Amino acid sequence: MNEITAAITAVGGYVPDYVLSNKELVQYVNTSDKWIYEHLGIRERHILKGEGRGTSDLCIPVAKQICEKRGIDPSEIDLLLIATSTPDMIVPTTSNIVAAAIGAKNAWAMDINLACSGFLAALDVGARFIEGGKYAKVMVIGADKMSAIVDYTERMTASIFGDGGGGVLLEPDYNGYGLKDSILKTDGEGGKHLFMPAGGSALPASEITVSARQHYIRMNGKEIYHLAVKHMVATIQELTARNDLSGDDIKWLVPHQANKRIVLEVARQLSFPEEKIMINIHHYGNTTAGTIPLCLWDYQQLLKKGDKILMSAFGAGFTWGANYFIWAYDGA
């Protein structure tokens, strides 16, 4: 029997209806449409409105869409992995909430919190269960409601982040398609550069933490920029070298949409042409774990069976990595 690999067999995506444009955003924060676009490459971002709505409300449409596209019932899902840093609540997991909502009664459901690298990690975890023969249908979703933890008086984070998510279905393949290799790394020293001070067990919510605005993310953008470029370039180079891949072999680079300058600098250092890079940050901003699957969703009509694809991300932790896939089907 040929080796089992985990192939992507369907893609889904979802962004909320409400669009927060740069023009509207500048009414709340001291910046300009020109500055945001020139520094970040963003024109607009989508925001999930409504009391009591959380990341599960981004994931549920994605999950239903994937099931409909693949023609399966949610009860057939063996494993549901959701990559998110903005769970609906501490317990139960967002994956539990989504599984119940869509009727995935036979699935083991688990959240993975690795910020912007979460979707890559979840893909790798899901693939291991496929490769080991334990599960046959693994749904992997990356989504974040970043508007819940963004301070809309702070220029950088307010400008960068948006809400949204996407996902894929992984199934066994015996013909060489699917996940071929991955690199995942962590440097815990980077935690001080992107974090949310309060809301966890070390500093639970209180009047003091709320009044001190400690339930919003804090970010050292300059430090993140340089390290994101460095590590994304290095992991892509390592992955291509050990799989004997040249730039001509790669059909698409799917980078985390941190900001457009990071994406283009990574491409420049790799001598990778812009026309082979998936970019949609201008429409969605940085949706954290949602950016890579949203790229796959937006570009799915252009994907062809046999396309060699590299995915790469860098995020809080610091965590980073890259995945090498061979695409398993034509179009959407």
**Going residue by residue through the chain (332 aa), what tens digit of pLDDT does each one get?**
579 999 999 999 999 999 999 999 999 898 999 999 999 999 999 999 999 999 999 999 999 999 999 999 999 999 999 999 999 999 999 999 999 999 999 999 999 999 999 999 999 999 999 999 999 999 999 999 999 999 999 888 999 999 999 999 999 999 999 999 999 999 988 888 888 899 999 999 999 999 999 999 998 878 888 899 999 999 999 999 999 999 899 999 999 999 999 999 999 999 999 999 999 999 999 999 999 999 999 999 999 999 999 999 999 989 999 999 999 999 86
pLDDT at site 224: 87
Return the CATH class of domain 180-326: alpha beta
pTM score, whole prediction: 0.96
At residue 237, what is the residue type? Q
Exposed, middle or buried: residue 226 (CB in 10 Å: 0-12, 13-18, 19+)? Answer: exposed
CATH of 5-176, one of 3.40.50.1400, 3.40.50.11540, 3.40.47.10, 1.20.1250.20: 3.40.47.10
In whole angstroms, give the CA distance from residue 209 to residue 184: 33
Selection from 292, 286, 293, 236 nearest residue 261 by Cα: 286
Could you confirm whether 283 is annotated as catalytic? no
pLDDT score, position 332:
66
Residue of 96, 113, 259, 286 with catalytic role = 286
Rounded-to-5 percentages of helix, strand, coil across the chain: 40, 25, 35
- Token pair 């910020």: residue: 115
Say how far apart CA 151 and CA 156 lie, in whole Å: 9
From 113, 116, 283, 323, the catalytic residue:
116
Indicate the domain borders of the chain. Answer: 5-176, 180-326
Q: How far apart are CA 70 and CA 60, in angstroms?
A: 16
Q: Please, what is the angle between helix 33-40 and helix 260-269, to 10°?
A: 30
Q: Is 59 a catalytic residue?
A: no
Helix residue ranges per DSSP H, the chain: 22-25, 33-40, 56-70, 94-102, 118-131, 155-160, 207-211, 221-242, 260-269, 281-284, 291-299
Contacts of 48 by beta carbon, 8 Å cutoff, 6+ apart: 16, 18, 54, 57, 58, 145, 147, 163
Residue 93 class from Cβ within 10 Å (0-12 exposed, 13-18 middle, 19+ buried)? buried
Fold equal for 5-176 and 180-326: yes
pLDDT given for residue 237 in this prediction: 96
Predicted confidence at residue 155, as pLDDT, reads 87
Q: Is-catalytic flag, 231? A: no
Tell me the residue type at 23.
K
The rounded distance, in Å, linking the Cα atoms of 288 and 313 is: 10
Question: What sign for the dihedral angle of Cα 320, 326, 327, 328?
Answer: negative
Query: Among residues 256, 259, 295, 323, which one is catalytic?
Result: 256
